Amino acid sequence: TENLEIENVIIGSGYGGAVVALRLAESGHEVTILEMGLNWEKSGEKFSPMISPGKSAAWLRTKTIAPFFNIFNTKKYTGTLDRWDFSNIKIWMGRGVGGGSLVNGGMAVLPKKDYFGEVFPELNTEEFYGKYFPLAEKELEVNSADESFLENCSFYKFNKVGEQEAHKAGFKTVRVPNVYDFKYMEDEYENKVPRSALAGEVIYGNNYGKKSLDKTYLKKAQETGKVHIHDLHKVESITKGLENTYILEVIQTNTLGETIAKKKIICKKLFLCAGTMGTLELLLKSSNDNKLTLNSEVGQNWGNNGNFMTGRNFVKTFSGGTGVNHSTIPVGGIDNWDDKEHPFFSEIAPLPMGMDVATSLYLMINPVPKKGSVFFNPISKKIDLQWSAENVALARTNAEYFIKKMNKVNGGTRAHLLFNNGFGADICYHPLGGAVLGKATDMMGRLKGSENLYIIDGSLIPGTIGVNPFLTITALAEYCIEHIISEDY
């Protein structure tokens, strides 16, 4: 085992980790990022499209794990997409330098101002909408598609049909901004550049077009010369050291997941940015195994952001189908949030199967009135969830209402040909909470009761934010690290 002493360590290179790295480096501090996934850019490996999964498709598995397209065998490799299965819910996550930004749909959605205020009553809403959200949008390079491009691009028929059908059923739709460069996509459409969104790439990584974190925050951070990213480095546990330092047990692996080195790292300041599930597993495991002291709020107020995947088959009567080719980048949302009885926001999702399957897919985001919790299971030696049908009751009622209303005026059936008869209550892309801002941490992400230990990722958000969450995670990280730098350094 190698022993190392490092001032500032960040675990994880997703949204939280990338923001912390850039701002610390800009203010003159050396920073080390430990990331269990691969540095894809450095490796020279290519990402693979959904219909022909290659090395990037799955994290150390021999079968692919996307919610659809489950039929493929794959070789064991440190791929970009991981999934953790619990009894009533499956949680998908990104792995690699850039975290979730590698695999996600790039939707950069501003939460409703009122709802943000409800979720975070102690934060200054005006300051967030005037300063931190615009800053996050600028750094993430958020942009919107040109309306005439969307109107004429055959790859967006699914969205056009999705919006028309929603309007016919009396729902309101909104245009959703994204970090995918839409000017690049226009060039793809005209065959001027290699295709990515128009070639079925997204959930196993995009080779072009998407401004994932390795192209924005992390690139800028590395340009300072002060940020050192160690990929294929997994933190196994945390122990409290002398004088409020932390001792990390780290394994370095190869791309087959085999351990090639063990390291012990002692750090003065530790930033836990391993994503909601990664952060909670590290904290709860270290508490059980190494007596790391935690406050009682850790593990509480966890939620799935009301994720509910649903769909409709035989979308034909009115529209003539959803199109042969789908861009993988969503641009439309159905905004029913202000309906008191059935509040939801829904992404009009692509289903790029390479043929017209006349199926509409929706990722609904609902409020989460009843939160779950996360705990350490000493038998499996892993974290476990308290999460049941009760927690998704509102989401299910909303999905029933939505599908019924859509089918009544547009024709079609519930998507019995998809997952779970078309009702994916157990599909979660947005795990949030468990180390909530102002509860488990103070108002700046410092873990209560522990010096020099910071939590900056999705676990700060109490289980719900009403829209896709990465813009909010980025803005929260900007706010936290600004205060931490001015007060703790």
Residue of the chain from 196, 360, 441, 468 that contacts ligand FDA (CB under 6 A): 468
Residues 321 and 96: their CA atoms lie apart, in Å, by: 36
Near ligand FDA in 28-57, by CB under 6 A: 34-37
Q: How many residues bind ligand FDA (CB under 6 A)?
A: 38
Q: Compute CA distances 131 → 128, 473, 475, whole Å.
A: 5, 14, 9
Q: Do 456 and 273 touch, CB atoms closer than 8 A?
A: yes
Q: Do 54 and 207 touch, CB atoms closer than 8 A?
A: no
Query: From start to end of 102-184, where are the E strands?
Result: 173-175
Does 282 participate in binding ligand FDA (rule CB under 6 A)? yes
Strand pairing partners for 312? 360, 414
Does 403 participate in binding ligand FDA (rule CB under 6 A)? no
Minimum CB distance to ligand FDA, residue 318 (Å): 27
Residue of the chain from 430, 447, 464, 466 that contacts ligand FDA (CB under 6 A): 430
Closest residue by Cα to residue 453 from 477, 484, 478: 484
430 belongs to the catalytic site = yes
379-407 burial string, b = 16+ CB within 10 Å, else e? eeeebbbbbeeebbebbeebbeebbebbb
Minimum CB distance to ligand FDA, residue 282 (Å): 5
From the candidates 139, 188, 249, 347, which is the catalytic residue? 347
Does 350 participate in binding ligand FDA (rule CB under 6 A)? no
User: Which 3 state secondary structure label does DSSP give 40?
Assistant: helix
Q: Do 272 and 453 touch, CB atoms closer than 8 A?
A: yes
Does 298 participate in binding ligand FDA (rule CB under 6 A)? no
From the candidates 163, 430, 482, 487, which is the catalytic residue? 430
Near ligand FDA in 247-266, by CB under 6 A: none
Amino acid (1-letter code) at residue 444 = M
Q: Do 480 and 441 touch, CB atoms closer than 8 A?
A: no
Residues whose CB falls within 8 Å of the CB of residue 338, separated by 6 or more in sequence, listed in order: none
CB atoms within 10 A of CB 320: 12
Does 150 participate in binding ligand FDA (rule CB under 6 A)? no
Does 458 participate in binding ligand FDA (rule CB under 6 A)? yes
Residues 82 and 57: their CA atoms lie apart, in Å, by: 9
Select from 44-52, 269-277, 366-374, 404-412 the region that touches ligand FDA (CB under 6 A): 269-277
Tell me the two tokens of residue 391. Answer: 């927690």
Residues 306 and 212: their CA atoms lie apart, in Å, by: 25
Minimum CB distance to ligand FDA, residue 469 (Å): 4
Does 352 participate in binding ligand FDA (rule CB under 6 A)? no
Helices (H) and strands (E) in the chain, counts: 12, 21
Minimum CB distance to ligand FDA, residue 359 (Å): 18
Minimum CB distance to ligand FDA, residue 175 (Å): 14
Does 434 participate in binding ligand FDA (rule CB under 6 A)? no
Site string for ligand FDA, 11-30 (x = CB under 6 A): xxxxxx--------------
> Sign of torsion, CA 226 230 234 240?
negative
CB atoms within 10 A of CB 442: 14
Minimum CB distance to ligand FDA, residue 202 (Å): 8
Residue of the chain from 65, 235, 292, 444 that contacts ligand FDA (CB under 6 A): 235
Does 469 participate in binding ligand FDA (rule CB under 6 A)? yes
108 vs 358, beta carbon nearer ligand FDA: 108
Strand order, beta sheet including 427-428: 81-85, 90-94, 427-428
Does 343 participate in binding ligand FDA (rule CB under 6 A)? no
Minimum CB distance to ligand FDA, residue 371 (Å): 17
Name the helix (H) or strand (E) containing 83: strand 81-85
Near ligand FDA in 195-234, by CB under 6 A: 203, 234
11 vs 153, beta carbon nearer ligand FDA: 11
Near ligand FDA in 76-135, by CB under 6 A: 92-95, 99-100, 103-107
Name the helix (H) or strand (E) containing 476: helix 470-488
105 vs 352, beta carbon nearer ligand FDA: 105
Minimum CB distance to ligand FDA, residue 484 (Å): 16
Residues 254 and 63: their CA atoms lie apart, in Å, by: 19
Does 457 participate in binding ligand FDA (rule CB under 6 A)? yes
Residues lying near ligand FDA in the complex (CB under 6 A) are found at 11-16, 34-37, 92-95, 99-100, 103-107, 203, 234-235, 273-276, 278, 282, 429-430, 457-458, 468-470, 473
Catalytic residues: 347, 430
